[in-house]
Structure formats: structure tokens, C-alpha cells
Chain A
């Protein structure tokens, strides 16, 4: 089966510019996650969707970050305006649903590496 697809793989922008990342989860996966991973740290959850509803966005800096998941499939994460501290890898992940082993198993995309100059 096809994995989680993300684009672009790399993006370099200047501070105060905007950027958007796209994610296509594994077919049939109801839950979609966006994580931010700064070099040398663990992934930090930005937002979690269940179908097209938001489960948790408590750590999303809403003054500059936005995310949507239209029709419960693809998702877009946008940053506007970007700051230097936003330099990180943005990981999209999906999982089949809730309950049992599915609670622990996330499938990650290769990530989008953002450099803000």
C-alpha cells in the first residue's frame, strides 16, 4: 500500500514569508497528525484531525499557523508569517482509527524540511 505522501520535501524561505505543506495520508486512515520536529528533539504535535474534525490543536500557534483537512482526506499546513524559530521538519502522520493497537501505530511521511533565513 502507498505510504503517507508529503510535499515539498525541502523549502527555504525568508522570515515573514509564507509557506504551505501538503499531506496525503494512507487511504482509509481516519486520523491525521501534523508534528513539528526541531533538530535533536522529539516530534511535537501541532494538530490532530479525526476525519475532517479537529481533535487537538492546543499546541498550534494559531496567530501564524493554520491547518485544514478538507473532505477528511488531504491536509494542508500553512505558516504565515514565518519566523526563524519555525525552522524544523514538519511531519505528517496517519493512523487507521481508534481503539486497540491502532492507538499506538502511526505511519509517518518523509517530512518537509523548512529553513527560515
Chain B
């Protein structure tokens, strides 16, 4: 079977930095994505890593280590609006299934 492990909840304060980890055990691996979902809203795409290393997009960065089957999402200068659920997702092969983890609920406190 396929498994993606992420912490269920993370709490941080405004202005801080938080890291959300994702480890995966899957039958194939083409790339790792991250999505944000606010309560009652649609998941929105944040980033994608197909190769090892760090991808930076504004306040958000994502990292991948294929040899460790591990990635993380780094959120800097946290804002209240960052309170949401964050999902990692693995593309098993080119053009194939995209499977999601169970999500991490991030709460940003003032």
C-alpha cells in the first residue's frame, strides 16, 4: 500500500517559522506537492519538488530528499491567514496517480 505520514497538528505564533514534515512509502515516486486548504475551501497548490533540494516561493519553501523519502514545507513570517490544513501529495509516476496525506492542521496564534 501507499502511505504518507505528516503530523496531524502544529501550532505556532505570528511571525515565527514552522516546518511541516512528510515521509512517504509508495510504490513509485515522481514528485512531491504541497497544498493548502482553508476550512470549507478548495485545496490550493503551493509547491512541487521533483528533484532533491529546496524550492522557494515567497514566504513558503519546500524541500525534498528522494533518498530519505522525505520532504518538508517551511513557512516563514507566519500570518494569521496561514491557519489552514496543509497536505503533502505524491505523484506515483509520470501522468499517474496523485495521492494525498491526511493533512496537518496549522494554527497560528497572535
Contact = CB atoms under 8 A, between A and B. Distances in A.
Given A106-B45, A110-B41, A111-B42, A50 B103 contact: no
**Helix, strand, loop or mixed for chain B's interface?**
strand
Contacts of A93: 43
B42 A50 contact: no
A101 B49 CA distance: 8
Interface of B: 4, 30-33, 35, 41-45, 47-50, 87, 89, 91, 94-103
A45 B97 contact: yes
Q: Which of B47, B95, B96 has the most CB of A within 10 A?
A: B95
B96 A56 contact: yes
Interface residues of A, number: 27
Contacts of B44: 108
A111 B41 CA distance: 8
